[in-house]
Structures are given as C-alpha cells and as structure tokens.
Structure 1
C-alpha cells in the first residue's frame, strides 16, 4: 500500500464521516421539526363548549365525537350542563357558560325577537316531510270520537311547551282541515307525561315525539294525525345556536365545526341503530323502548326558506308578536 493511497483513503474516510454526521444532523433536525409540528397542532386545538339535550336530535354530536370528526378538524368538544328546556339554553350562551347550544329553532327565533344576540350556526334536525317518516304525532284515546284535526275545536291539547312551534303547527293543521284554531285550548306538561294525560282524561289529545309516541300507541292510544307534514313539512327542528359575539369572533372555528357537523350528520343518517344506541346510553332510556321508535331527519344545514316559513307560522298563530328577519338569526352557510 502506497503512502498516497493511504492519505487518499484517510481523506475519503474523513469526508464520509463528515457526511454521516451531517446526515445524522439532518435526521435529528427533521425529527425536531416533526416534533415541533406535532406540538403546534396540539397547541392549535380549539375547545368548543356545547350545551346538549338528552334527545335523539343531539345524536350526531355524540356520534361525531366518537368517530373523531371534530378532532380531525382540531376541535375539542366539551359537553357542559344544558338547560332544562330549549329556552333555558339561551342564557347559557349569553352568560358565556357555553359556546354553542342545542335548542329549537323557535327558541332561537324568540330570543332574537327579544333583541338577544344569538345566531343559528348549524342544523341538527328538520321536521318530517311525510307521515311515513314522521317521528311525531298527535294522539287521542283509543275510544275517542275525534277523527280529524277539525274536531279539536273546543278540545284541550297537551303539548310540552306553550307558545312553541308545536302549538303553531297544530293550529295550522286545524285551520287547514277547516277548523278554527282559536277554539283549541293548549295546556303544558313534560313530554313523558303527555300520553298519561290523555289516558286519564286530563286532555283530549297530546302531541308526542318518539320514543314517547311509540310508547303511547303501545299503551292503547291512537294517532289522530301528523300535523307537521300537513302544515309545515321540513321546517327546522333542533338547531345549534351560538352567541353572535362568539360566532363573529371565531369564524375559522365555526367553519371547522360545520365541516365536522356535516360528517356527523351523514354518519347519523346512515347508521340509525347507532343513533338509538347513543340515545339509550346518554339519556338512560332502555334499548327496548327505542326498538320501534323512528329517528329524526338529521340535517346539518338550516334552509333559509324553511326557517322563514317557520317564522311566518309563529307570527300567524301568536307565538311571536313581531316577525324576525331570517338574515339576522341565521349565519350564512
């Protein structure tokens, strides 16, 4: 072996060593960058506090959380204690105790009519377009002589909330059937008790939503009819509402939330058994009670025309005293 060759070999070894060290440095730098990126993603996670309702309408949120749709958008959903009713959800938003709340579109409209700064940022359910898929209905006693909505004149109808969309739509169904809505009396009771009121004679009819509708018919009550498909097919049911301040301050978060919501709603519509399982687990309802019940019609988007129709019904039948501009209550899609 010559000296020249030895020196060249030494230089080559030195060069190789330097290259190896440099490569290692690049690898380490790459690992460092990846770790930093992971930390940045974690730091960018946004928490949204949602006030839920333990009803089937809320199932897309439960399922979306389980499926990771919100996590994929960098959102951490925290469920906070909700109000006892849709109207009770609104103060949670205005007080800053929740960012988003599940409430009826009607409750949001009523709040807006009273100059409360809330806005609908997404949908959950629409009322049914046809009797065949309707999960709600008006029931009477099995031996009741009432055979149609017109015959509710002079009768008492039990509903879960006075001055509600149910009251307006039942009134509309009576009028569409040739009756006089002002001759119908409405009383209020909790949804689980409405069927018992009819069975005991405390009311002539009651408006029920599954699973309580299925339970009532199994107990011998009969369905008089379906007021929503008749008088207000497809109007918004339960919606997701935020304070206007939150929506305006967090447009990117709302966009990501809507993306995850759309995925969650699609999943819920395609997996009806999972909707029932989620409701059973979250609302502590026995699974057998849900076996014959119908799921809601889930929709992530609130249609402005349908919402306008609902507002007009609320005004026409005295639930609202003044109309509300749909653009003031519905965040643009």
Structure 2
C-alpha cells in the first residue's frame, strides 16, 4: 500500500465548478458541522503526505475539525475498519474501493489521494537476473502486495503493453518490505514496488527497473483515494464538505514537490537522501469521475470486475463532473 495552508473557498469553487457547502460568502460556518471529530484511516505515507501535513500544521483545526489518524496496514484493513465504524473516512487504493463498491458496499468518495507518474510504481529485478525483457517469460512470477489490488492490475497492464499474456502471470504475495527477500531467494522473478521501497531497493541492493507502470493504460493512473460509507456521508454532509475543502487545499500545496520531500523524513521515516530521490506522483485537488472511471474500466477489461462500475455515482453530488 502508498506526504497546507488554507486557501480561500472561492479558489476551491473555481476548481470544482460547484457551489460550496458554507454559502456564497466563502467563509465556513462551523456551527453547521454535524460533528467536529473525524477518525481518518491513513496508509502509504507518500500517498497521504498532504493530509498528514495538513493535520500537523493545524489546517483542519482552523476549519473546526479534529482529525484522529488511524494507521492502516493495507486497503483491506481500511475497508474492514470503515465497515465496523472504527474509522469515519478510510484511505485505500481505488482498486480496493471499486472492488468493494461492485460487491454492494455503499461508499462515497471524499477525495482523491494520489495519481501515478513516471517511476512511482515499477517492476524491479536484482542484478544478474535473467529477466531482462518484460515479455521474455511466458509465466513470470511477480511479487505484489495483493493479487486483487492495484499492483496486480498495474502488472497485468504492463505485461499486456509489452506484448505478453497477462493471464499467465503468477503472483507471489508479499508485503513491500518482504519483496527484496523474495527476489533474492528466487521466489519471484520481479516485484511491483512503490516508493520509497523501489528507491531503497536500488540504493541497497542495486535493483534495476524492469518496467515502469506509467505506460499504456496505466499512464498517469489514479492510485488511491479517501472514502466514507454512504450512510455516514448522508448524515455528515457539511462535515465531509469541510474535510474535502481542507484536503483539496492540502493537495494543492503538495503540487510543490519540495513541500512533500521536506515532510517525508517525518511522515515516511526515510532519510533525507531517499526523500530527495523518490519519484513523486500527482496529488489531485478535487474528485474527478472521468479520471477515476479509467480505473474501474480497466478493472472490468481485465476481469477484476464482472460488470462495469459507474464511478461518478460514488461521488458527492456537488463533486460530480
């Protein structure tokens, strides 16, 4: 699984093209918030860096919100905690959210977290590996964190783009920190790694990039988002609108990569050198149903979803393109 100052509301409205939840004056009426405390699940520190920065610098507090961050090990844990009411808003991959929605879970997306860019998600091998061409093995063993999540979808897409048969891939499930050992033991021919793990593997093991996911169907691809249950969203519309506003402002600030890189040693536990070297993706400032539909459609095309999912139906009405 995958690092803010408050801008005026008018700027956010220009981005989203809709009216705000706090009236035409543009300043929040905190008395309209249904609640002031939110438990928010967080995962990959790079994906969630803007949110973590906004919590630390008081941006949510100034909006009248107190966020309790709950660390999640993976997307499935996040969805379980959301269903059980242990968190009010969960962070997970878009693949995980759309899989759950297709299975009947009532979700409302509250913000996009991260979109891939060149070298943010890569297949890596170790020095001396005979796997030097993506299509050279008929049934490559690929280490992924989950055979039903983003890594598997991206791997199949990369194999298909290279002219291989994605149905022949044999997935080896490992956590990201276990992947180097899987490569060293020969249990996997390559591993789908995210940052900062891929940079660490290159620094510490001399790993090389076999393929970059930012090609073909997964170029500039939506990776992760935040969501609440449908019932929670219905009962807390103003609170979640305030959450989205601050998140959007935080994501906008993160467009300056230096802001994220400066925070990574604190939020991701990496050293300054690694923070300077990691490939960073894009932090969307608002929900975009057209962009997110790409994920659901690729899932459908590759058999991860049996029927096409209408992603715009999962967005708050005011954020639907």
Bin for the TM-score computed over the shorter chain? 0.7 to 0.9
What's the counterpart of residue 245 of structure 1? 231
Aligned-pair CA distance for 1:199: 2.7
Aligned-pair CA distance for 1:282: 3.5
Pairing partner for 1:168 from 147, 153, 158: 153
How far apart in 2 are the matches of 1:192 and 1:263?
A: 32
Let me know the Cα RMSD of the aligned residues: 2.2
Q: Tell me: CA distance 1:151–1:302, structure 2 relative to 1, closer, same or farther (3 Å).
A: farther
Q: Tell me: CA distance 1:136–1:326, structure 2 relative to 1, closer, same or farther (3 Å).
A: same
Please say if residues 49 and 100 of structure 1, whose CA atoms lie closer than 8 Å, have aligned partners that are also in contact. Answer: yes
Aligned-pair CA distance for 1:286: 3.8
How far apart in 2 are the matches of 1:152 and 1:216?
A: 22
Aligned-pair CA distance for 1:92: 1.7
1:48 aligns with 2:38: yes
Pairing partner for 1:118 from 107, 110, 130: 107
1:91 aligns with 2:80: yes
Whichever structure has more helix as a proportion of its residues is: 1
Please say if residues 289 and 315 of structure 2, whose CA atoms lie closer than 8 Å, have aligned partners that are also in contact. Answer: yes
1:184 aligns with 2:169: yes
Q: Tell me: CA distance 1:53–1:61, structure 2 relative to 1, closer, same or farther (3 Å).
A: same
Structure 1, unaligned runs of 5 or more: 1-39
Aligned-pair CA distance for 1:69: 2.2
Please say if residues 124 and 207 of structure 2, whose CA atoms lie closer than 8 Å, have aligned partners that are also in contact. Answer: yes
TM-score computed with the length of structure 2 as normaliser: 0.82
Aligned-pair CA distance for 1:214: 0.9
1:102 aligns with 2:91: yes
TM-score computed with the length of structure 1 as normaliser: 0.79
1:256 aligns with 2:258: no
Structure 2, unaligned runs of 5 or more: 1-28
What's the counterpart of residue 19 of structure 1? none
Aligned-pair CA distance for 1:62: 1.3
Pairing partner for 2:292 from 291, 307, 313: 307
How far apart in 2 are the matches of 1:47 and 1:203?
A: 44
Aligned-pair CA distance for 1:277: 4.4
Alignment length (residue pairs)? 288
Q: Provide the secondary structure at the position in 1 that maps to 2:142.
A: strand
Q: Radius of gyration: which is bigger?
A: 1
1:10-159 to 2 correspondences below 5 Å: 46-79=36-69, 81-128=70-117, 131=118, 134-159=119-144
Post-superposition Cα deviations, 1:250-297, rounded to whole Å, max 9, x if no partner, equal 222222111111111122222x34424433323434444434212332
Post-superposition Cα deviations, 1:144-193, rounded to whole Å, max 9, x if no partner, equal 33333222422211111111122122212212222111122111100112
What's the counterpart of residue 10 of structure 1? none
Q: Provide the secondary structure at the position in 2 that maps to 1:88.
A: helix
How far apart in 1 are the matches of 2:30 and 2:98?
A: 37
